[in-house]
Amino acid sequence: MTGRLPQASAYARAGVDIVAGERAVDLIKPAVRSTWGGLAAAGRGDGPRVLGDLGAFSGLVALGNAYTDPVLVSSTDGVGTKLKVAIALDRHDTIGRDLVAHCVDDILTSGAQPLFFLDYVAMGKLVPERLASIVEGIAAECRANGCALVGGETAEMTDVYAADDYDIAGFIVGIVERDRIVDGSRIAAGDLVWGLESSGLHTNGYTLARKVLADFPLEDGYPGLAGTVGEALLATHRSYLPAMRPLLAEGIVRGMAHITGGGFEGNIPRMLPGGLAVELQWGAWRVPSIFDLIQREGRIEFAEMTRVFNLGLGWVFVTSDADAEMVRALTPDALQVGRVTEDDGEGARVRLLGAP
Amino acid sequence: MTGRLPQASAYARAGVDIVAGERAVDLIKPAVRSTWGGLAAAGRGDGPRVLGDLGAFSGLVALGNAYTDPVLVSSTDGVGTKLKVAIALDRHDTIGRDLVAHCVDDILTSGAQPLFFLDYVAMGKLVPERLASIVEGIAAECRANGCALVGGETAEMTDVYAADDYDIAGFIVGIVERDRIVDGSRIAAGDLVWGLESSGLHTNGYTLARKVLADFPLEDGYPGLAGTVGEALLATHRSYLPAMRPLLAEGIVRGMAHITGGGFEGNIPRMLPGGLAVELQWGAWRVPSIFDLIQREGRIEFAEMTRVFNLGLGWVFVTSDADAEMVRALTPDALQVGRVTEDDGEGARVRLLGAP
């Protein structure tokens, strides 16, 4: 892992704890290595695999010869102030899952399968067990998505972060054959819009949600929630790769949008060719109660809610009408949520029919 | 650029300034695009190139067919508390150069040429002009190294970072033909150790340096410095790619080490096969005056200095004795700084001959 260990030995007196760094590396090694096997399984024939070992300056992944015209698809993300919820609840084993799943979903919009991941963790104080929890979450979600964790950097920055604070960023590289890239160009008016339900806020809207819920006890329940409000806020970002993989293999997906910051209007148009719009049918998917709580506590207008949150619809994709049967057979949890229409040029490109 | 723009529109009241985000994107677009042309030049024949455009969920780079058995080499890094020097001096156009150069050097140790880069910037308050300065620095160093800037994330996190504070992380992916990977395995006792001089502290040792110099005015000079102490501390990380490229093309480089955190002992052994050590001749390279100042002000022992700082030697590489003439011809600023020896197993694997 590049720089995972701040090797300097004279740092303790200036606030960089080398012994803690070394213990952290020992703690995370097994988790990191556990991700390397899945990569080969993801490749066909002589597919990609991890070379080298921990401790080198960089992570090496051989592409192999299984690809004809490979395109590398990359993305970087953080988890925003969802971190503050994790810190408040002192639960650090899920935030890494959020980070990886968000990145996996971002490159999935192009049709890419994950290859490898690197993480950056900056902490006010390097607590080895906390870092290990974070990295174990990263490794678990990497394994679940067939992605190799090949590098990471841990920085201890006592005068940037409060002692208990930290920030994390992730970086993913995936791969897709050039003729299998999904870019929305085949989308046409009349196509079906499908949705996959989110697991909650994912990693967006936490600055607003936390402000609204500042005086609401995280350990309390709320009607419709299975657990506490804190647990609902910390629910991990869903990876849509398992649900989409069979559809992508069939080549029937014409466009995909990951509903992140900006909500429906901010993300769905990113997959649409010019001149087209989308009508979504409100009620076609379930809105988790946590959004109801946020809206009520913050007295937020519905239109605002749709621009900040995914409101239960974390993933949208488009197929032709003719492929509806195949979608239902291959991805039973896909919901038909709307239609592609002509854009009348007079307002939003996403219209929410039947909304409150 | 993935997530460069927090698209939500209802965020202003919760501390996320969307208008500032949009203005920042407009400011940085030209810098980002300016990096995309260099990539094609780096590839041979039908080499790699950037596909797609800003605003998609991810960055796309087609590999082309110029590689026979490609290995992707990746790394992630931050710049540590060098950020605090940039913030104190209110100069934000160089820290991005540091970030890219550090990453370029990390993957160069394997013999890799840069392909693409992504950045993560988290700020207490999103000041568009400051973000633009940072990203322009990133783009400038990407251009200098033939690397495409294909993605970035900007997070405004008012309750993690102080208003003027920020953190940055970078992610790089490079490429090398499998049979051209430099891994140190051909290094033998008697080989020559060469050095390339650093431009200063690069990005390591700033927590210690800043503590030691806490009461030293950054605008003051010091004997031997061309400018102020602040300027010396902010001197940008050197990319060793231009100096090493002709030697790598000849295939004569047996091992390389980037002298980062951990100094000589922490980094040089990373390129060595077991059973070998390195003798460096103190005095074979110039030690910049800034290290003298840090050592004197902090009353730091010399041995400690060698474990924290590069002391003017930012890059080390190994060739056979027989290739010395070629090194001198192709890379005139390479200095012969030592020899590879057998490891006697009784102490450090890097011995500094003639040290004070």
Max CA-CA distance within chain B?
68
In this structure, what token pair is assigned to residue B289?
A: 């005056």
DSSP A236: P
- Alpha helices, H only, A145-214: 206-212
Give the alpha-carbon dihedral of A100, A105, A106, A107, to 10 degrees. Answer: 90
* pLDDT at position B9: 35
Non-local CB neighbours of B171 within 8 Å, separated by 6+ positions: A74, A76, A118, A120, A171, B74, B75, B76, B103, B117, B118, B119, B120
In this structure, what token pair is assigned to residue A249?
A: 């293999």
Ramachandran class of A113: left when φ > 0, alpha when ψ lies in -120 to 50, beta otherwise: beta
Distance CA B276, CA B334 (A): 22
- Alpha helices, H only, chain B: 18-33, 37-42, 82-89, 95-108, 128-144, 206-212, 229-234, 241-250, 263-267, 289-298, 302-308, 324-330
Across the beta sheet with B255-258, the strand order is B255-258, B313-319, B192-197, B335-342, B276-281, B350-353
Please check whether residue B122 touches A, CB under 8 A: yes
Task: Answer whether residue B38 shows pLDDT above 80.
Answer: no
Decide if A294 contacts A288 (C-beta within 8 A).
Answer: no
In this structure, what token pair is assigned to residue A212?
A: 């609204």
Residue A36 identity (one-letter amino acid) = W
Task: Answer whether residue B115 shows pLDDT above 60.
Answer: yes
**Residue A33: Cβ-neighbour burial (10 angstroms; 0-12, 13-18, 19+):** middle
One DSSP character per residue, B213-264 reads: TTTS-TT---TT-SS-HHHHHHPPPPP-HHHHHHHHHHT---EEEE--TTHH
> Phi/psi at B185 (nearest 5 deg)?
-65, -20
End-to-end CA distance of chain A: 50
Decide if B167 contacts B59 (C-beta within 8 A).
Answer: no
Distance CA B219, CA B234 (A): 12
Cβ contact (<8 Å) for A14 and B178? Answer: no
Please check whether residue B15 touches A, CB under 8 A: yes
> Phi/psi at A153 (nearest 5 deg)?
-130, 130
Chain A nearest C-alpha distance from B257 (Å)? 8
- Chain A window 82-101: which residues touch B at a Cβ cutoff of 8 Å? 83-84
Task: Answer whether residue B31 shows pLDDT above 80.
Answer: yes
Distance CA B246, CA B238 (A): 17
Decide if A245 contacts A104 (C-beta within 8 A).
Answer: no
Contacts of B118 in chain A (CB under 8 A): 74-76, 171
Looking only at the bridges linking them, the beta strands covering B113-123 and A313-319 are unpaired
| Torsion sign, CA atoms B330, B238, B173, B263 | positive
Cβ contact (<8 Å) for B81 and A160? Answer: yes
In this structure, what token pair is assigned to residue A21?
A: 């760094």
pLDDT digits (tens, 9 = 90+) for B324-350: 999 999 999 999 999 999 999 888 899
* Placement of tokens 């102030």 in the chain: A81
Distance CA B84, CA B87 (A): 5
Task: Answer whether residue B4 shows pLDDT above 60.
Answer: no
Decide if B213 contacts B294 (C-beta within 8 A).
Answer: yes
Candidate from A110, A118, A151 with C-beta closest to B60:
A110
Q: What is the Cβ-side half-sphere exposure of residue A60, based on CA atoms within 13 angstroms?
A: 27
Please check whether residue B117 touches A, CB under 8 A: no
* pLDDT at position B22: 78
Candidate from B65, B76, B207 with C-beta closest to A2:
B76
Decide if A294 contacts A172 (C-beta within 8 A).
Answer: no
How confident is residue B43, by pLDDT bands cut at 50, 70 and 90? very low
Decide if A252 contacts A326 (C-beta within 8 A).
Answer: yes
The number of beta carbons lying within 10 Å of the beta carbon of residue A250 is 12
* Full set of structural domains in chain B with CATH: 12-177 (3.30.1330.10), 192-353 (3.90.650.10)
| R_g of chain B computed on alpha carbons | 21
Name the residue of chain A whose CA is nearest to B54's CA. Answer: A270
Chain B nearest C-alpha distance from A4 (Å)? 9
Decide if A47 contacts A64 (C-beta within 8 A).
Answer: yes
* pLDDT at position B310: 97
pLDDT digits (tens, 9 = 90+) for B302-317: 999 999 999 999 999 9
Non-local CB neighbours of A175 within 8 Å, separated by 6+ positions: A48, A63, A67, A70, A71, A72, A73, A112, A113, A115
Candidate from B3, B262, B267 with C-beta closest to A261:
B3
Taking alpha carbons only, the member of A8, A61, A9 closest to residue A35 is A61
In this structure, what token pair is assigned to residue A77?
A: 């993300």
**Could you report the predicted ipTM of this complex, rounded to two decimals?**
0.92
Tens of pLDDT along chain A (356 residues) come to 334 443 333 344 455 666 777 788 888 888 888 898 877 544 455 788 888 664 466 789 999 888 999 999 999 999 999 999 999 999 999 999 999 999 999 999 999 999 999 999 999 998 999 999 999 999 999 999 999 999 899 888 888 899 899 999 999 999 999 999 999 999 999 999 999 999 999 999 998 999 999 999 999 999 999 999 999 999 999 999 999 999 999 999 999 999 998 899 999 999 999 999 999 999 999 999 999 999 999 999 999 999 999 999 999 999 999 999 999 999 999 999 999 999 998 888 999 999 98
* pLDDT at position B72: 95
In this structure, what token pair is assigned to residue A348?
A: 């939003």
Decide if A103 contacts A200 (C-beta within 8 A).
Answer: no
* pLDDT at position B42: 46
- Confidence (pTM): 0.93
One DSSP character per residue, A122-139 reads: EESS--HHHHHHHHHHHH
pLDDT digits (tens, 9 = 90+) for B130-182: 999 999 999 999 999 999 999 899 888 888 899 899 999 999 999 999 999 99
In this structure, what token pair is assigned to residue B202?
A: 């690069």
How confident is residue B58, by pLDDT bands cut at 50, 70 and 90? confident
Helix-, strand-, coil-residue percentages of chain A, each rounded to 5: 35, 25, 40
Decide if B171 contacts B294 (C-beta within 8 A).
Answer: no
Q: What is the Cβ-side half-sphere exposure of residue B200, based on CA atoms within 13 angstroms?
A: 22
Cβ contact (<8 Å) for B59 and A80? Answer: no
Three-class SS of residue B299?
coil
* pLDDT at position B53: 62
* pLDDT at position A11: 45
In this structure, what token pair is assigned to residue B199?
A: 């431009």
**Residue A253: Cβ-neighbour burial (10 angstroms; 0-12, 13-18, 19+):** buried
Distance CA A114, CA A271 (A): 20
* pLDDT at position B157: 87
- Chain B window 298-327: which residues touch A at a Cβ cutoff of 8 Å? 300, 304-305, 307-308
The number of beta carbons lying within 10 Å of the beta carbon of residue B168 is 28
Taking alpha carbons only, the member of B165, B9, B284 closest to residue A160 is B165
How confident is residue B7, by pLDDT bands cut at 50, 70 and 90? very low
Decide if B210 contacts A160 (C-beta within 8 A).
Answer: no
Taking alpha carbons only, the member of A22, A27, A30, A28 closest to residue A6 is A22
- Chain B window 156-215: which residues touch A at a Cβ cutoff of 8 Å? 156-161, 165, 167, 169, 171, 173-174, 178, 181, 183, 204-205, 207-208, 211-212
